[in-house]
Amino acid sequence: MKSVKPLLAVLLLFSYVCGQECVPNSIKIGSLEYGGTNSSGASTYIVKLNTTGVTAAPLTFGNVRVHVNGLFQDTAPQGPITTSANILYVGGGSFTGLASCATECITVTVQLFTTDGNPMTFTLPDGQQFTTWGVNTTVLRPRIGKAALVTGQSEPIYLRLDAKGL
């Protein structure tokens, strides 16, 4: 059996060097879910954004865009989106803008755009500053062994650290 002492030493060294100065590489702020397709052929896609306990204050995005099978729909014409928010997108059937997943969906993508397209800096609950990219992308892909998305499948939405902003 191998000793865990070297691993423990590395972890202790990291925590000593890092202390309060380290900023996480990403923070989870929500989820993207495929809601399914009804008998009329309309599919639903749900974006849930909640920064409670993750950031010191709500975040505002200039646009939340969902892509399905080459088509996309924006929230931008209705104005900025401030967390916490649940956004329902519908595609197919009598709805236009997004594709339906009635036949098959390989991926659904959500993009969060900052209000000006530039990196956004905000405060975490512990007082640290976090700078994220101007556009953050999350992709929902089929589960291992599946050819397409399944109803209720979801993927966490993360804001990723823009290390250039540190």
pLDDT of the residue at 3: 53
pLDDT of the residue at 166: 54
Q: 131 in a domain, yes or no? A: yes
pLDDT of the residue at 20: 42
Instruction: Quote the number of domains for the chain.
Output: 1
Q: What CATH code is carried by the domain that includes residue 73?
A: 2.60.40
Range of the domain at 28: 23-165
Tens place of pLDDT per residue across the chain (166 aa): 455 454 444 433 343 344 445 658 999 999 999 999 999 889 999 999 999 999 999 999 999 999 998 889 999 778 899 999 999 999 987 766 889 988 888 899 999 999 999 999 999 999 999 999 999 999 999 999 888 899 999 999 999 999 775 5
| Residue of 83, 100, 82 whose CA lies nearest to 91 | 100
Q: 75 in a domain, yes or no? A: yes
Q: 5 in a domain, yes or no? A: no
Q: 11 in a domain, yes or no? A: no
| Residue of 51, 48, 71, 47 whose CA lies nearest to 59 | 51
62 CB contacts (<8 Å, ≥6 apart)? Answer: 76, 80, 113, 114, 115, 116, 117
Reduced to 3 states (helix: H, G, I; strand: E, B; else coil), residue 6 is helix
Cα separation of 112 and 67, whole Å?
A: 12
Using CA atoms, how far residue 132 sits from 26, 51, 109, 146, in Å, is 8, 14, 18, 32
pLDDT of the residue at 9: 43
User: Model's pTM, two decimal places?
Assistant: 0.83
